[in-house]
Amino acid sequence: MSLKLSDFLKYERIVIQCHDNPDADALASGFALRWYLEKQGKKPRFIYGGNSPIAKSNLVLLNENLGINCEYVKTLEAPELLITVDCQYGESNVTAFPAERVAVIDHHQASGTLPEMSEVRSNYGACATVLYEMLRAEGVDINTDKNVATALYYGLMTDTGDFTEISHPSDRDLRDLAAFNKSLITLFRNSNLSLDELRIAGEALQNTTVDETRAYGIVEAGPCDANILGIISDMFLEVDGVQACVVYNILPFGVKYSVRSCVKEVKANELAAYLAENIGGGGGHLVKAGGFLKKDLILKEGVAFEAETLKRFIEDRMNNYFDTSVILYAGEYKADLSEFARYRKKRFLVGFVKAADLAESGKQIAIRTLEGDVDVTVTEDLYIILNVNGEIYPIRRAKFERSYEQSDEPYVYPGEYPPTVIDNADGSRISLLPFAKSCISIGGDGIYAKEITGRVKVFTAWDPDKYYLGREGDYLAVRLDDLSDIYVIERNIFFKTYDKWDA
């Protein structure tokens, strides 16, 4: 982490600023930051600018019931430190108040030069999660103040479409661990939809575009809360012949969109990320996801920020997504081995955990990783490999013993997010790392592999319901001892872990 909350403590005149027309995530993030600073003896102001004060009923209730008390201001005397939350200073949706020094805490894609004091995590679903992790790094438990925990939970909930667009395990941690006020969350949730927004949903569904060949639909909605986009997309997906859909609205500073899918060949989170590639961020769940395209980055791509042009842009990306994706199924794919070369794993140190050390046989557990929650059933012969870049995957004992030998070297996890196992029955959590031991790759039986030249979705024998995505430059692999066992290896990992093998 490049920026710590304690870095702010050397300043006295501090102002925390939301973007104009703040949403729940911005209010929650700024509230949590002010709470931390006040606990350290500071007296920060918490403000937002723009053309009008907050009027949306759920945000008014949020402000009043949790004691957020974010001030609406039109002018500001330059503070010693101005910290923008859920936005970046200088963007079109942030009033440019003067300041001696600026800091940024955000979860959106960076569109320009950031100040030296910045913490931007664009792979997080909400700025609330960024604050949650920064508070944890300072040893601060959000659950010591129920209002703070409730605010952060609600900020994440609203910015991820009722948690359907969660894109990072830290988001899942905040969702699962926050000790929030259930009655207040119910109040906020049931005050979210206005009559005007109900009309927006109805009008949007009268102007849908459906591509019958590719089985997807697109619709533009008027300006509305992000949750309304989710409501519209849920309804749109019920239309016969629509297997995936995108519902979007154009805002002054970008395009917010919601994605839905009802077929395993299209992961909503992967499609959402594809739509935002180079111009924003997207993510979520397998069937529900969403994202945001930043106006500044759209313009840098040479795309006019106009309704018809943006619609054509989204349609073009959707068409390209469907037309350039090759789908392979383990057990059905017959590899032409003349196109493949033989490779064998290098000798290198990785980690492993015996699943039976974590839970009793027969238990259903989820391995929480950067790629998502992987559900498995504990058996005596189930091992979990912690690979060179921190990626995690299950393996059976027979294959483990052919491919690895145990080592007495202490194990050090190299990844960003320390993996956790969750007992699906009671929700309890166990860190994998205390149980991890080292092992050395010994090559095993080797693989056939070839470089991928486009986009490939591979349904593996291990998990036939979810595909693994291979992009141009990655490698498609087939095990020498089992030609039905196909999978994808990322390019950087492939060259770290495999050598050509002419045996």
Residue 1 — pLDDT band, cuts 50, 70, 90? very low
> What is the structure's pLDDT at 137?
92
Q: Is the pLDDT of residue 259 over 60?
A: yes
What are the pLDDT digits (tens) for 80-126? Answer: 999 999 999 988 778 999 999 999 999 887 767 889 999 999 888 89
C-alpha span between 198 and 202 (Å, rounded): 6
Higher pLDDT, 213 or 417: 213
What are the pLDDT digits (tens) for 329-383? Answer: 998 999 999 999 999 888 889 999 999 999 999 999 988 876 667 788 999 999 9
What mean pLDDT value characterizes the chain? 90
The Cα angle at residue 136 between residues 133 and 138, in degrees rounded to 5: 120
> What is the structure's pLDDT at 381?
95
C-alpha span between 2 and 388 (Å, rounded): 23
49: helix, coil or strand? coil
Q: Is the pLDDT of residue 439 over 50?
A: yes
What are the pLDDT digits (tens) for 62-86? Answer: 999 999 999 999 999 999 999 999 9
Domain ranges in the chain are 5-189, 195-323, 325-346+443-503, 351-432
Tell me what percent of the residues of the chain surpass a pLDDT of 70.
96
| Best CATH choice for the domain 5-189 from the list 3.90.1640.10, 3.40.50.300, 1.10.3720.10, 3.40.1180.10 | 3.90.1640.10
> What is the structure's pLDDT at 371?
63
CB atoms within 10 A of CB 112: 11
CA distances to 50, 164, 230, 314, 406 from 160, in Å: 24, 6, 10, 21, 42
Exposed e or buried b per residue across 180-206, where buried means at least 16 C-beta atoms within 10 angstroms of its C-beta: bbeebeeebeeebbbeebeebbeebee
C-alpha span between 295 and 92 (Å, rounded): 9
> What is the structure's pLDDT at 442?
84
> What is the structure's pLDDT at 161?
78
Q: Where are the alpha helices (DSSP H) in 237-332?
A: 268-275, 295-300, 307-323
What are the pLDDT digits (tens) for 157-172? Answer: 988 878 877 868 899 9
Q: 308 φ, ψ to 5°?
A: -65, -40
Residue 193 — pLDDT band, cuts 50, 70, 90? low
Tell me what percent of the residues of the chain surpass a pLDDT of 90.
61
| Best CATH choice for the domain 195-323 from the list 3.40.50.300, 3.30.300.30, 3.10.310.30, 3.40.30.10 | 3.10.310.30
Which among 267, 253, 271, 360 has a CA at the least distance from the CA of 317? Answer: 271
Element (H, E) at 232: helix 226-236
Residue 481 — pLDDT band, cuts 50, 70, 90? confident
What are the pLDDT digits (tens) for 373-423? Answer: 778 899 999 999 998 877 788 889 998 998 899 999 999 998 777 888 888
Q: Is the pLDDT of residue 265 over 90?
A: yes
Kindly report which listed range (141-145, 320-324, 337-341, 484-488) carries the lowest average pLDDT score: 484-488
> What is the structure's pLDDT at 175?
95
Q: Is the pLDDT of residue 4 over 80?
A: yes
